[in-house]
Structure 1
Amino acid sequence: MNYIVKRTAQAVFTVFAVITLSFVIIRLLPGGPADYLRAQLIQRSGGSLTQEQINQRIASQTNIAVDEPLYVQYVDYMASILRGDFGTSVWYSNEPVIAVLGPAIPWTVFLMATSLFIAFVLGVTLGAFMAYREGSGFDVGSTGVSLLTNSVPYYVIALLLLTFLGYRMELFPTGGQYASETTPGLNLEFVLSALHHGALPILSLVLASFGGWALNMRGNSIRVLGEDYLRVARLRGLPERRIALRYVGRNAILPMYTGLLIAIGFMFGGSIILEEIFAYPGVGYYMIQAINARDYPVMMGAFILITVAVTIGVFIADVTYGWIDPRAEGGGTRESY
């Protein structure tokens, strides 16, 4: 229990520190968001707005009252973030940040979770076969392919797929979440359209990441295959399938559990470049647009959202690993970082 309390406190402190950092970036850096918004408001209004009106608009968009003392600004900013109020977007017609990023979250989760699931299952399966056929032609060839795909950045694969399958062969859409003529809802036409539009981004991530999972699974399985308890299991006459699934596969996949949950946490951060390449309106796409438009409230909202997702992923991995693997040490010696 003390261990869980300690890890919970660490996770809360991490999120608290990131929100504090975002406040510092917004308020204290020269030429930061407040100064930029002030210049924009003065330019757009042609001098018709008073200083008080400008300060009020800056406060509504950034959650910071620039005419208040620094400690008051910080308390107000923290309180608004804890309420889920990330300010108002400058670029997207003065909409609340949560209204801009909220509808994009399910699409990012769909894209990244699907690709992560496929890559993990494919990599684990391939790695297990590679370990059982260690030294064979299949093992050598699969290891080479895994090393190659794992070495190529996903955005390079994404650009190649987009160029050849999207533009030249026109087999897949080159942007959007679904066809414009499709009515969103739980219907077959919409589901198929969403899968069609997400196929290339998903394939890009799968091709770039399954090799890493396969190599990890291969190494873990080979190590487990050399354990003495497997020899005892074979001497007892246990079926080879049971040995492969319950003894080898189960123990080889456990060290990959932490990496899987951390990868889930990094879903939002890893989507930034991919969604921009495929013009796929997710959290990463809107973050890039906010950076280009200097829409600081949206940018900071996305930054906080990504940090919270990563922190939660690491926290769940750290707390639950001891439950799924009783061999893990308890107390303060267990770490997943």
Structure 2
Amino acid sequence: MRWITQRILQALITVWAVVSLSFVLVRVMPGGPANTLRVQLQREGLSDRQIARRVEQFLNTQPDRPIYVDYFHYMGNTLTGDLGESMWNNQPVAEIIAQTAPWTIFVLSWATFIGFFVGIVLGALMAYYEGGKLDVGLTSYAMIAGSVPYYIFAIYLILFLAVRWGWFPYTGRQYSGVDPGFHWEFMKGVIHHAALPTLSLVLSGSLASLSMRGNSIRVLGEDYLRVARLRGLSDATIAVQYVARNAVLPLYTGFVISLGSMVGGSVILETLFTYRGMGLTMVNSIDRRDIPTMMGVFMIITICVVVALLVADLTYSKLDPRTGGEQREAF
């Protein structure tokens, strides 16, 4: 219990430190968000009083207020879920994140799960046929694909499957003119638009198969497998309960962390496909110098990564009891 409490406190301190650091960096950078907003509002022909009121509305700050007062004011609003308003469309940042996050989670979670599953299956086949043509072919592909960034696959998929052959759309999230809802026409459009972003991540995520191959080969040489065979257990039982379970365990932490960091990895992908999720929102907020939106999205990315690391730490010992004692001794 003490170890769990310490890990939770470490996660909370990490989130606080990152959010505080981002607040300070934004406030002290040349120009600052208040000056940037003032310039934008002056171009709209607003009076000084209107500009001061809009600056306070968007940034929760006042010209004569010290930075440490702004900091406590910002942290207090953040704890209540108030992330400010977008400087671009006057929409609450929390509402923008709530509208875009499900689309990012949909694409990247499916890509992560499919890539993880395919990697496990291919890695097991590579280990079973070690040294054969299948092993050599899949290993060569995994090494090449693992060294190629996912956006290279995305560019080629757009070029051939979308532009040249027209099988898939390469912009947007759904069919135009279709009302959102749980009906086939809308869901078909969502799946159709998400196919290429998902496929580009799956094609490049082949390092899991190499890890699974190495783990499976290592497990196949363990003494407890010989004991299992001597006990007369079937090959299926040995493969599932002994080989697969122990070979997958080292991949579990990386899988959970990838789920947490998928939001940050969506920036380039969503920009290429003009897929309006959190990644594209982050890019647009940087281009427009929309400080509240940029800080809100960055904070969500930080929380996702920290929570993923915390979940990996707390659950790995449940899957592998051998690590439980080591974790408790470390604290």
Which of the five TM-score ranges fits, normalised by the shorter chain? Answer: over 0.9
Corresponding position: 1:73 with 2:84: no
TM-fit CA distance, 1:74: 0.9
Instruction: Tell me the equivalent position of 1:84.
Output: 81
Instruction: Name the stretch that deviates more: 300-309 or 63-72.
Output: 63-72
Instruction: Tell me the equivalent position of 2:170.
Output: 174
Instruction: Tell me the equivalent position of 1:9.
Output: 9
Helix, strand or coil for the counterpart of 1:268? coil
Instruction: Tell me the equivalent position of 1:272.
Output: 267
Instruction: Name the stretch that deviates more: 98-107 or 25-34.
Output: 25-34
Contact 1:133 1:139 in 2 (8 A): yes
Residues 305 and 332 of structure 1: is their aligned pair in 2 closer, same or farther, counting only changes over 3 Å?
farther
- Distance across 2 between alignment mates of 1:333 and 1:132: 37
Contact 1:275 1:281 in 2 (8 A): yes
TM-fit CA distance, 1:58: 1.6
Once the two structures are superposed, residues 98-125 of structure 1 have per-residue CA deviations (whole angstroms, 9 ceiling, x without a partner) of 1222111100000000011110000001
Instruction: Name the stretch that deviates more: 240-249 or 59-68.
Output: 59-68
| Identical positions, percent | 48
Helix, strand or coil for the counterpart of 1:94? coil
2:164 alignment partner AA: R
- Distance across 1 between alignment mates of 2:170 and 2:63: 43
- Distance across 2 between alignment mates of 1:332 and 1:141: 44
Helix, strand or coil for the counterpart of 2:255? helix
Contact 1:62 1:87 in 2 (8 A): yes
1:284 alignment partner AA: G
- Distance across 1 between alignment mates of 2:33 and 2:314: 38
Instruction: Tell me the equivalent position of 2:153.
Output: 157
Instruction: Name the stretch that deviates more: 56-65 or 192-201.
Output: 56-65
TM-fit CA distance, 1:332: 5.3
Quote the RMSD (CA, aligned, Å).
1.3
Helix, strand or coil for the counterpart of 1:9? helix
* Equivalences for residues 1-337 of structure 1 within 5 A: 1-45=1-45, 48-50=46-48, 52-91=49-88, 93-209=89-205, 211-328=206-323, 329-331=326-328, 333=330
Contact 1:216 1:256 in 2 (8 A): yes
Once the two structures are superposed, residues 242-284 of structure 1 have per-residue CA deviations (whole angstroms, 9 ceiling, x without a partner) of 1111000000101111111100001100111000100100000
Helix, strand or coil for the counterpart of 1:254? helix
Unaligned runs of 5+ in 1: none
- Distance across 2 between alignment mates of 1:55 and 1:225: 70
TM-fit CA distance, 1:59: 2.2
Helix, strand or coil for the counterpart of 1:269? coil
- Distance across 2 between alignment mates of 1:107 and 1:215: 30
- Distance across 2 between alignment mates of 1:271 and 1:332: 38
TM-fit CA distance, 1:237: 1.6
2:269 alignment partner AA: L
2:180 alignment partner AA: P
TM-fit CA distance, 1:25: 2.1
- Distance across 2 between alignment mates of 1:333 and 1:262: 21
After TM superposition, which residue ranges in structure 1, 4 or more long, deviate above 4 angstroms?
none
- Distance across 1 between alignment mates of 2:329 and 2:147: 35
TM-fit CA distance, 1:240: 1.0
Residues 203 and 306 of structure 1: is their aligned pair in 2 closer, same or farther, counting only changes over 3 Å?
same
Contact 1:230 1:247 in 2 (8 A): yes
TM-fit CA distance, 1:66: 3.5
TM-fit CA distance, 1:17: 0.8
Residues 299 and 136 of structure 1: is their aligned pair in 2 closer, same or farther, counting only changes over 3 Å?
same
2:43 alignment partner AA: Q
Contact 1:258 1:321 in 2 (8 A): yes
TM-fit CA distance, 1:83: 1.2
1:15 alignment partner AA: V
1:72 alignment partner AA: V
1:153 alignment partner AA: P
Residues 104 and 43 of structure 1: is their aligned pair in 2 closer, same or farther, counting only changes over 3 Å?
same
Q: Normalization by structure 1: what TM-score?
A: 0.95
TM-fit CA distance, 1:241: 1.1
Contact 1:3 1:332 in 2 (8 A): no
1:207 alignment partner AA: L
- Distance across 2 between alignment mates of 1:158 and 1:299: 25
- Distance across 2 between alignment mates of 1:231 and 1:65: 73
1:55 alignment partner AA: A
